[in-house]
Chain A
Amino acid sequence: MVPTVSAAAAIDAPTFSTVRFRAEREADWIAFDALLTRLEKKGAKGLSSEELLQLPVLYRATLSSLSIARATSLDKALLDHLEALSMRGYFLIYGVRQSRLDRLARFFARDWPLAVQAVWKETLIIVAILLLGGLTSWSLVTSDPQWYYSFVDESMAGGRDPRATVEYLQSTMGHGKAAADEEGGALHVFASFLFTHNSGVSIMSFALGFAFGIPTMMLEFYQGINIGAMVAVFTSKGLGYDFAGWLFIHGTTELFAAALSGAAGLRIGAAVVFPGARSRLQAASDAGRTAGKVMVGVIIMLLIAGLLEGFGRQLITDTVTRYAIGTAMLLFWLAYYYLPRREEAA
């Protein structure tokens, strides 16, 4: 646009420039609006290939209209419309680069394991904390069984539903004492309860990472304490081997998931405390994205653990087989996460 020409014209005919500007381009805006609406409703499949090619052309036309309108027009309705339209266009066009299937495939093949690899240090710390918690309560309970009750109380106060926890503990012990003959019926209810409960705890230990990771570490320590106390109770009754098998079949997956969720939380906490060369905000959001990927994986792992718990444990009563499955799952996860992957241009 040459300003002097249109300025001179505008003096002669005051309504000239903006009215003609709008009349010339309005058709493009309406067409773009219609395409966007269909794209929003039906996704990329709703448009023909010709229309898909048109989309960026119309988008750029709308953006340039917006720039011109901002400089020349005072029609608020027009400006608002162009702004809203450009914004919708921007987020749709720069948003849909991959199909959902591609994104899913990429997540499983690369994003998930790479994110887990990225938090390996945090994972080791959390595993150490879990073991420490377990050993602490195990040694205390073995020396004096009275400790067990104080541990259970403490973990209830740490954020669980008191009624459900009693049920949880009773049924856990019930299964352990009758390791070979499972009671049928309510088992899958119990399993799905455990799944939702454990997912809740994992989400919490991730979310709490924010407060410099300290609550996360406490939560994981309590988890360790809980397990250690139970193991101690069963070992003292001479059921240690069976109980470990009962725990092992799903526990390798579940505890791994718990450790990863703690690691994801810790990663965020560490980024907030030690942002390094980046700004604190940038560090937190970088860590948040890695942690978000890990957490999607954690929920999938917990789902698998829930299945193993609900069905695997019910169907497989042989302790050796249980150990075998638990070990196989552990090896599978380790291989999936930590086997080196070929570098690929992102």
Chain B
Amino acid sequence: MSAATNARERLARQGKLRQFITPEGVDLELKIASSGLRFGALIVDLGIMLVVLILFSLLIGWLGYSSRSDIFQSIWLLGFFFLRTFWFIGFELGQRAATPGKRLMGIRVVARDGGRLTADAVVARNLIRELEIFLPLMMLGFGAGEDRVSGLTVAAGILWSLTLSLFLLFNKDRMRMGDLIAGTWVVMAQRSKLDQDIAAEADGAATMTFGENELAVYGIYELQELERVLRARDPRAMREVADTIRAKIGRPVAEEDDVFLLAYYRQLKARLERKLLFGKRREDKYASD
């Protein structure tokens, strides 16, 4: 990976970050959810809705059959309507502002202006969904079911409704039509567990010391990648990374990989954090020290 691609990647990561300053003056740096995650969430939600609908239909069918009353027919119609209209609205009005699908993907809805996510915004953004999902489906249904409509009209209809559905691909904030109307965003809301600080683990045995020039080859990006590898504890990845570092700083293979990596991580982290206190932030190995 060259310096240029690395920098580009970091820019892309930053491109998904949005300033979100709380009244206390802290920037929460919300991350815009990717279209892939949102599509995944939609698929999960539609899947669950379908299962619920099937179970509901079986129940109603059984009740209707055993009681021979056609009141269940209207209950089914109403149930279907409420499921379709209020599934998204109901869940997004909850504390977590996310449907089960969104929760699974670790994303949530927030108001773009930083205020409270209000009920009317949730209603507005989800009623537009009717246009984005059900209209294209309906168009497809028409295309299949109706001979009188010419093929060209159907194609135009599908194309038009697809531009509505795919609207979020064409703006950098990944806003659906509904988001635009309601003034909302969908952002990442992953929970992350508080892990042990691996630099602080009491372990006096590792007394390897690295020289200044050995530590000076890496920056913050590499440090955090190293942290990821250390936390994942995959022997093969650790071997690979340890070999790379040894080759880079010119050390012979003398210790266990994990001991070596841990010692290197601690001292690199200490060095970079010390620099941080002096206001020097070295993003990656390509940046100058």
Contact = CB atoms under 8 A, between A and B. Distances in A.
A88 B191 contact: yes
Nearest to A87: B28
Interface in B165-188: 177, 180-183
Contacts of A159: 138
B4 interface: no
A277 interface: no
B44 interface: no
Contact of B182 (A33, A64, A74, A285): A285
B192 A189 contact: no
A289 B272 contact: no
B121 A288 contact: yes
Interface stretch (A18-26, A121-129, A143-151): A18-26
A44 to B, nearest CB: 10
Interface stretch (A89-97, A167-175, A327-335): A89-97
A230 B192 CA distance: 62
A55 interface: no
Contact of B78 (A192, A204, A299): A192
Interface in B107-159: 108, 110, 112, 115-125, 127-128, 130-131, 135, 138, 145-146, 148-149
Interface string A267-308: 010000000000001101111111111011001000000000
Interface stretch (A2-10, A131-139, A252-260, A317-325): A2-10
Interface stretch (A78-86, A237-245, A337-345): A78-86
Given A291-B124, A295-B124, A74 B220 contact: yes
Interface string B73-108: 111011011000100000000011100000000001
Contacts, number: 204
A292 B182 contact: yes
A160 B110 CA distance: 35
A285 B183 contact: yes
Given A11-B274, A72-B277, A188-B71, A77 B199 contact: no
Given A15-B199, A189-B77, A92 B95 contact: yes
A315 interface: no
B240 interface: no
Nearest to A20: B200
Contact of A195 (B78, B271, B273): B78
A288 B124 contact: yes
Interface residues of B, number: 75
A295 B128 CA distance: 11
Given A15-B199, A192-B74, A204-B131, A87 B30 contact: yes
Contact of A188 (B74, B80, B199, B270): B74
A159 B189 CA distance: 38
A219 to B, nearest CB: 12
Nearest to A71: B276
B53 to A, nearest CB: 14
Contacts of B195: 77-78, 81
A104 B223 CA distance: 51
B268 to A, nearest CB: 9
A203 interface: yes
Interface residues of A, number: 85
Given A6-B277, A84-B190, A288-B181, A95 B81 contact: no
Q: Is the interface of B mostly helix, strand, loop or mixed?
A: helix
Contacts of A186: 70
Contact of A289 (B29, B131, B183): B183
Contact of A97 (B26, B116, B180, B266): B116
Nearest to A261: B127
Interface of B: 22, 24, 26, 28-30, 70-71, 73-75, 77-78, 80-81, 85, 95-97, 108, 110, 112, 115-125, 127-128, 130-131, 135, 138, 145-146, 148-149, 177, 180-183, 189-195, 197, 199-200, 220, 223-224, 227-228, 231, 266-267, 269-274, 276-278
Given A74-B224, A195-B81, 17 more contacts: A3-B277, A6-B277, A14-B271, A60-B24, A74-B269, A74-B272, A78-B194, A81-B192, A83-B28, A91-B117, A96-B95, A159-B138, A200-B81, A268-B181, A288-B121, A289-B118, A292-B125
Across chains A and B, which 8 residue pairs bring their CB atoms closest together, nearest first? A285-B183, A292-B124, A288-B181, A14-B270, A292-B120, A192-B74, A207-B131, A196-B81
30 contacts: A6-B277, A7-B277, A14-B270, A15-B266, A17-B273, A19-B197, A74-B220, A74-B273, A76-B224, A77-B194, A81-B194, A84-B191, A88-B191, A91-B110, A95-B117, A97-B116, A115-B120, A157-B149, A185-B70, A193-B77, A196-B80, A199-B85, A207-B127, A210-B177, A268-B181, A286-B183, A288-B121, A292-B123, A292-B124, A292-B182
